[in-house]
């Protein structure tokens, strides 16, 4: 549980969605608000930008 980890250590959360799209991906607004408040309150967001490596790797293996 996230609540039990709060202030005790790091938690890494990964997503294929941009942070502004997280609420839309969690279809219940109340649940989304609860989860995201815990995750984002003391978070450091690291957004990676670049090519889709799945496509790149797949192209190499099928050539």
Tell me the pLDDT tens digit for each residue of 8-49. 888 888 888 887 788 888 888 898 888 888 888 788 888 888
Ordered alpha helix ranges (H), the chain? 2-5, 22-25, 29-40, 53-62
Tell me the CB-side half-sphere exposure of residue 62, using CA atoms within 13 A. Answer: 6
What are 15's two structure tokens? 């997503």
- Report the predicted TM-score, pTM, of the whole model to 2 decimal places: 0.53
Backbone angles phi, psi at 20, to 5 degrees: -70, -15
**Quick one: pLDDT band at residue 57, thresholds 50, 70, 90?**
low
DSSP classification of residue 48: -
Q: Determine the pLDDT at residue 13.
A: 84
């Amino acid at each position: 549980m996230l609540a039990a980890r709060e202030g005790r250590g790091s938690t890494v959360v990964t997503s294929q969605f941009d942070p502004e799209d997280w609420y839309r991906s969690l279809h219940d607004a109340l649940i989304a608000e609860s989860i995201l408040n815990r995750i984002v309150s003391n978070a450091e967001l690291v957004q990676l930008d670049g090519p889709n490596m799945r496509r790149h790797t797949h192209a190499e293996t099928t050539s």
